[in-house]
Amino acid sequence: MKDFGEVLENIDLKNYNTYGISVKAKYLVKPYNKVSLIKLIKYLDTNKIKWYLLGGGSNVILPDEYFDGVIINLSNLTAYEVTGDEIYAEAGIYLTTLIDKMLDDGYTNYGVLKGIPGQLGGAIVGNAGAYGINIFDYLNSVFIIDENYEIKEIKKEKIDYDYRWTEFKNKKIVIVAAKIKGVKGDVALIKEEISKNFIKRKNTQPLEYKNAGSVFANPPGLAAGYLIEHSGLKNISVGGAKVSEKHANFIINYNNATSHDIINLIEIIKKEVKEKFKVELKLEQVIVKW
Ligand SMILES: Cc1cc2nc3c(=O)[nH]c(=O)nc-3n(C[C@H](O)[C@H](O)[C@H](O)COP(=O)(O)OP(=O)(O)OC[C@H]3O[C@@H](n4cnc5c(N)ncnc54)[C@H](O)[C@@H]3O)c2cc1C
């Protein structure tokens, strides 16, 4: 595998997922570029070796069980190129870096997404968004690896997506890059808004603890946090996982939480909210199965 990328062996993934779940994988490979990524996937599939693509790990609940396979990490796929008012960016670029580069070029349209951790690929999979803007609002197309191990461009119109959901979610697919529409605006103004949003996030989200953002998507017209809080669930815990006191739609890892703790807590929340409000909460985070 060394031909395809940097290889780390017997690696604890706790620094690769924002919940900080400690679980080991046999290998973690960082492909050198998109060509080596394709070769790696083909090699793994041909040799029937299990693989899992992890982005920034900020929306996943990793299993507690050892992974006898390869974690693919796209930290070397970070290209950013502008042609006309269209940006081509590779999937491993962190959203924060992408937005900073766009702002340097005068494009303000993704500005308010700053503060969402994670990479462009992960943001596309879950149609990440904040303050009324979603990634898909300005996507032109997505590049994936197809069944023939070739890069295929899919226009946005051909992709099924919704609020915090896309057809890519929970599918074994590799997003390599995307084309984004750049819209110019008042950079100073958006930077002010970003600073204000950072303060808002700090005041309302438990950023001092390990977490993976909102646990549940907001049901139409409702706030998941409100439903959880008013079901009396703030601060309840299972093992090392706890419903945040600051924001009830966040589960925090306050004491070496396992995947098992987090998933059990999720089940309790779903059950209680259903009983109290007759609302079926839908998970925004991804429960990973190796
Ligand atoms: C403090 C905090 C605040 C947050 N705030 C927000 C917010 O305001 N709005 C919001 O929408 N989200 C928010 N999130 C959640 C999370 O940051 C986003 O969902 C983010 O887009 C996930 O990206 P990631 O790279 O970390 O994906 P990961 O968690 O690594 O992966 C998520 C899923 O996408 C898949 N995936 C990742 N990259 C690729 C790829 N290149 N190709 C194919 N599949 C891939 C993974 O296999 C996994 O199934 C927050 C999280 C935290 C911790």
Domain of residue 270, CATH code:
3.90.78.10
In a domain, 166, yes or no: yes
Residues 6+ apart with CB under 8 A from 37: 4, 5, 31, 72, 74, 77, 145, 174, 176
Judge if the beta carbon of residue 175 lies within 6 A of ligand 1: yes
Residue 216 and residue 173 in one domain: no
Residue whose CA is closest, atom 1 of ligand 1?
A: 213
Residue 104 and residue 182 in one domain: yes
pLDDT at residue 222, as a whole number: 96
From 189, 222, 250, the end of a domain falls on: 189
Judge if the beta carbon of residue 218 lies within 6 A of ligand 1: no
pLDDT at residue 170, as a whole number: 86
pLDDT at residue 81, as a whole number: 98
pLDDT at residue 75, as a whole number: 97
First to last CA, the chain: 20
Ligand 1 atom nearest to 128, measured from its CA: 11
Residue whose CA is closest, atom 45 of ligand 1?
A: 122
Q: How far is CA 201 from the centre of its chain?
A: 17
Ligand 1 atom nearest to 169, measured from its CA: 49
In a domain, 27, yes or no: yes
Range of the domain at 252: 206-287
Residue whose CA is closest, atom 51 of ligand 1?
A: 213
CA dist 186 and 183 (Å) reads 10
Judge if the beta carbon of residue 129 lies within 6 A of ligand 1: yes
Judge if the beta carbon of residue 58 lies within 6 A of ligand 1: yes
Supply the CATH number for residue 105's domain: 3.30.465.10
In a domain, 68, yes or no: yes
Among 255, 284, 258, which residue's Cα sits nearest to residue 270?
284
Residue 158 burial (C-beta neighbours within 10 Å; 0-12, 13-18, 19+): exposed
CA dist 167 and 97 (Å) reads 26
Strands 286-287 and 60-61: parallel
Q: Specify whether the CB–CB gap between 201 and 250 falls below 8 A.
A: no
Which residues are catalytic, by number? 164, 214, 284
- From its phi and psi, is residue 18 left (phi > 0), alpha (psi between -120 and 50) or beta? alpha
Judge if the beta carbon of residue 123 lies within 6 A of ligand 1: yes
For the chain, what is the domain count? 3
Instruction: Write the CA distances from 33 to 3, 37, 86, 168, integer angstroms.
Output: 11, 6, 21, 22
Phi and psi for 288 in degrees, rounded to 5? Answer: -85, 135
Distance 122 CA to ligand 1 centre (A): 4
What are the per-10-residue average pLDDT scores of the chain (290 residues)? 96 98 98 98 97 98 98 98 98 98 98 97 97 97 97 98 94 96 98 97 96 96 97 96 98 97 98 97 96
